[in-house]
Structure 1
């Protein structure tokens, strides 16, 4: 029987603990769930101890499993530092999810900043709705999500604010007094949709969502067609074919927060949050 502890099984064990389960660990490690389970069984066979036990639909670490985790983290740190010292580090991936709002203005600068901060990581982006990004975080398919609104999770951080502005087609004119303002918005739930309705209501203006779209491109297309006004976060860069409106109530900026997946290295979250904070201050 082998009495050696291989690196790959140790990395799987740590991922199960950090990600909260075998399936999520498999997603983060780009392995099958069966492969991760086999890694843990190999460790158990080598040590002659039970490390992880089933508990309902989930699993929990035994006392021996918790003890091995401490040693595994130290071994992996030394292993990775040794590879770094000899220039043999395998490129890692930092996967960032972002809502569409202001992505064109923030992501190019963020890519440049993170590439310099984490040269051993490839930066990959996923653009999606906030709801889908939260699900991707839970499943371990992305590492960090850029979300509209203040930080709500204990590990999330608010990094700044996005300026909001009303946009319409050049030929669009406000409705007659007493008529509702026609809005174009992303399907609910949407933070900007809510902010648009609240802003108009706070100034005694009736509003009606007359056109909806699943994505920002659809909102901009409907606004460009003159179907109504849309509230967007463009950081001062007017979308092509649209014009900014100054005859509607000025909306308050909206907070931007970053939320990590469970078990993400703290320095990766801090580096991402710091980079975004600096980018927002400079705009």
Structure 2
């Protein structure tokens, strides 16, 4: 009987190894878990060896599986290089997750840059809360995520800092010192909400949550309605109908990092990080201009 190692099962097998399990591999390949399991069984039938074994709730490669993994990587590399040499490169789907602040100001630029620098990738974006994006990375549903906060994980690559500015409605007036300042913020958990309250607290300014929202549009609408002030990362672009404030303490910027799922190509993560670093450099210049204008008006 003639035995073959087909490309699709080999891709599934490598994904299982890189993602740490069948469920994550299936999500990263946009296949069902049953399809990935079937692919691995086909490889075990072709090799006559057990390649994956259960370990608690997860799985691990056997010694034969480790041997096949190294060979599978070589086969897939040669396969893809051959197609590329004929101008028929395979298109890789990459899912990039972002919060709404990133979607409004980072993603349009990022989409343009990635179309040029990663022509063989089909980029798809997912907009969600930071906690959901982290869950997506762990499950393999998201390949990269743009997240605010410290890069305290091996999967995170720091790309810079986002300057933060206070915004309010044009008619809003700061209350007397004895009265707390109403803050409009996202629901918990939220890095911007935390930074806003910490900044006011550090300057002994009383504050209270005046309105909460689960989406950026809700935050901006509440601020526009005069319900309070909000701290936003706008990359130097003032939201329509709002004004920047010069009578509140300047907050420290928030670090931005690109988080990668296990097994994602380092080249893709690097290209995304480089694009964001370029954008943040440009945005920093705009924010400096905004701060200078605020200082002049003070």
Pairing of 1:1-283 with structure 2 (within 5 A): 1-283=1-283
Cα displacement (A) at 1:186: 0.3
- Any idea what SS the aligned residue of 1:175 has? coil
The whole-number CA distance in structure 2 between the counterparts of 1:88 and 1:102 is 33
The whole-number CA distance in structure 2 between the counterparts of 1:46 and 1:82 is 24
The whole-number CA distance in structure 2 between the counterparts of 1:155 and 1:57 is 23
The whole-number CA distance in structure 2 between the counterparts of 1:178 and 1:235 is 33
Cα displacement (A) at 1:196: 0.2
Count of aligned pairs between the two proteins: 283
TM-score normalised over the length of structure 1: 0.98
Contact 1:102 1:235 in 2 (8 A): no
Cα displacement (A) at 1:265: 0.6
The whole-number CA distance in structure 1 between the counterparts of 2:102 and 2:12 is 36
- Any idea what SS the aligned residue of 1:157 has? strand
Contact 2:80 2:90 in 1 (8 A): no
Contact 1:28 1:141 in 2 (8 A): yes
The whole-number CA distance in structure 1 between the counterparts of 2:160 and 2:228 is 29
Cα-Cα RMSD? 1.0
- Any idea what SS the aligned residue of 1:189 has? coil
- Any idea what SS the aligned residue of 2:106 has? helix
Cα displacement (A) at 1:102: 4.0
The whole-number CA distance in structure 2 between the counterparts of 1:5 and 1:67 is 14
The runs of at least 4 aligned residues of structure 1 exceeding 3 Å deviation read: none
- Any idea what SS the aligned residue of 1:101 has? helix
The whole-number CA distance in structure 2 between the counterparts of 1:124 and 1:221 is 28
Cα displacement (A) at 1:86: 0.7
Q: Note the residue ranges of structure 1 that are not aligned, 5 or more in a row.
A: none
CA-to-partner distance for each residue in 1:173-208, whole Å, 9 max, x for gaps? 111111111000000110000000010011110110
CA-to-partner distance for each residue in 1:239-272, whole Å, 9 max, x for gaps? 1111111111011111110000110011111111
TM-score normalised over the length of structure 2: 0.93
Cα displacement (A) at 1:155: 2.5
The whole-number CA distance in structure 2 between the counterparts of 1:232 and 1:102 is 11
Which residue pairs with 2:292 in the alignment? none
Cα displacement (A) at 1:150: 2.3
Cα displacement (A) at 1:231: 0.4
Contact 1:146 1:258 in 2 (8 A): yes
- Any idea what SS the aligned residue of 1:87 has? coil
